[in-house]
């Protein structure tokens, strides 16, 4: 059971759904329509005490579900204070988790790629797509509708810069966009996008139009919203490269070593060099200021990369 959303004329409509198997694919069906405001089903008794008024309704429909399960489903619709308290006081259950046996072949490569990028924030997931990580079992026994809502929720947690990288990686654009012209990048994106839409094994019984209109249109919005940001990324990368090059000369350390260094390592390198260049130790005041400036630039790169 999961909560699905659907874009409708500038807002989302929500529904409680479940996935079921109907050969040859997993499909989805609506259990209950929640409308545009699922939070209306939450009754608050105080700032953090609440109940979700669906237990009896679902029982009448033949579904046995308790408040704990409903709380997990409706967590994102709770007030921020209630979310904070739940997160703070919820402890992992000390029950040994039984690993679900699955075959990596049962999961579509595009789903595997997306999950790996979201999990590890990597630039080349193809190298590890053959590995059956236990968390990939989350992608089995789900309809396309449930999978897309699952990914949608995870993607919403990404920061803006992370979304750019994510989009470029999953559509195989990361290593292309700095080297080709914008319209060529657009064409490759559209081609890769359409290949996935036309893949019947990916659609799992949905039509191309339904998959695009309900789910995949978000990637089109993301791409053409972010394409304007690409020149800024190029400028940032050039700036980043120049900072590392300048720092390499000041610290007398290879660029590769500086790129690998952690923030703690940078502090050690800075302190060592600061002792040499500090005016009280006979160093140059101008060089010491330059050292501090380049150190702060490196810290910013490490913090926000």
CATH classification at residue 294 = 1.10.287
96 falls within a domain = no
Please identify, among 35, 56, 89, the residue that sits at the C-terminal boundary of a domain. 89
104 falls within a domain = no
Low-confidence winner among 21-25, 33-37, 134-138, 243-247 (lowest mean pLDDT): 243-247
In the block, tokens 């940032």 appear at 236
249 falls within a domain = yes
Q: Looking at the structure, tell me whether residues 184 and 70 fall in a common domain.
A: no
The rounded distance, in Å, linking the Cα atoms of 108 and 205 is: 14
Q: Looking at the structure, tell me whether residues 128 and 216 fall in a common domain.
A: yes
Q: How many domains does the chain have?
A: 3
263 falls within a domain = yes
Higher-scoring residue by pLDDT: 27, 232: 27
Enumerate residues 6+ apart whose C-beta is below 8 A from 157: none
The parent domain of residue 209 ranges over 109-232
Q: Looking at the structure, tell me whether residues 49 and 139 fall in a common domain.
A: no
Q: Looking at the structure, tell me whether residues 124 and 225 fall in a common domain.
A: yes
Please identify, among 29, 59, 89, the residue that sits at the C-terminal boundary of a domain. 89
The rounded distance, in Å, linking the Cα atoms of 77 and 85 is: 14
101 falls within a domain = no
98 falls within a domain = no
CB 50 within 8 A of CB 78: yes
Q: Looking at the structure, tell me whether residues 129 and 222 fall in a common domain.
A: yes
Q: Looking at the structure, tell me whether residues 52 and 124 fall in a common domain.
A: no
Q: What is the pLDDT of the chain when averaged over all its residues? A: 86
Q: Looking at the structure, tell me whether residues 221 and 251 fall in a common domain.
A: no
pLDDT of residue 95: 43
243 falls within a domain = yes
Q: Looking at the structure, tell me whether residues 174 and 239 fall in a common domain.
A: no
Higher-scoring residue by pLDDT: 50, 282: 50
Query: Is the model's pLDDT at 53 over the cut of 80?
Result: yes
Mean pLDDT of 241-265: 86
Q: Looking at the structure, tell me whether residues 223 and 250 fall in a common domain.
A: no
300 falls within a domain = yes
């Amino acid at each position: 059971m999961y909560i699905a959303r659907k874009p409708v004329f500038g807002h989302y409509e929500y529904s409680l759904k479940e996935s079921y198997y109907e050969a040859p694919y997993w499909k989805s069906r609506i259990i209950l329509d929640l409308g545009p405001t699922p939070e209306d089903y939450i009754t608050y008794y105080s700032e953090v005490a609440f109940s979700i008024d669906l237990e009896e309704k679902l029982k009448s429909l033949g579904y046995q579900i308790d408040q704990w399960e409903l709380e997990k489903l409706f967590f994102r619709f709770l007030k921020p204070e209630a979310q904070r308290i739940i997160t703070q006081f919820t402890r992992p259950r000390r029950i040994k988790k039984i690993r679900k046996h699955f075959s990596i072949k049962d999961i579509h490569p595009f789903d595997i790629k997306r999950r790996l990028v979201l999990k590890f924030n990597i630039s080349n997931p193809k190298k590890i797509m053959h590995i059956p990580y236990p968390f990939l079992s989350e992608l089995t026994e789900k309809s396309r509708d449930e999978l897309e809502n699952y990914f949608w929720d995870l993607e919403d947690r990404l920061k803006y810069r992370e979304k750019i990288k994510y989009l470029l990686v999953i559509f195989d654009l990361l290593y292309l966009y700095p080297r080709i012209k914008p319209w060529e990048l657009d064409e490759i994106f559209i081609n890769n996008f359409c290949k996935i839409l036309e893949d019947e094994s990916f659609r799992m019984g949905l039509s191309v139009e339904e998959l695009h209109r309900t789910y995949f249109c978000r990637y089109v919005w993301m791409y053409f919203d972010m394409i304007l940001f690409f020149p800024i990324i190029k400028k940032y990368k050039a700036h980043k490269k120049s900072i590392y090059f300048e720092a390499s000369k000041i610290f007398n350390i290879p660029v590769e070593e500086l790129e690998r260094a952690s923030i703690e390592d940078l502090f050690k390198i800075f302190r060592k060099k600061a002792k040499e260049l500090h005016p009280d130790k006979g160093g140059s005041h101008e060089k010491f200021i330059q050292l501090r400036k380049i150190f702060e630039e490196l810290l910013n790169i490490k913090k926000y990369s």
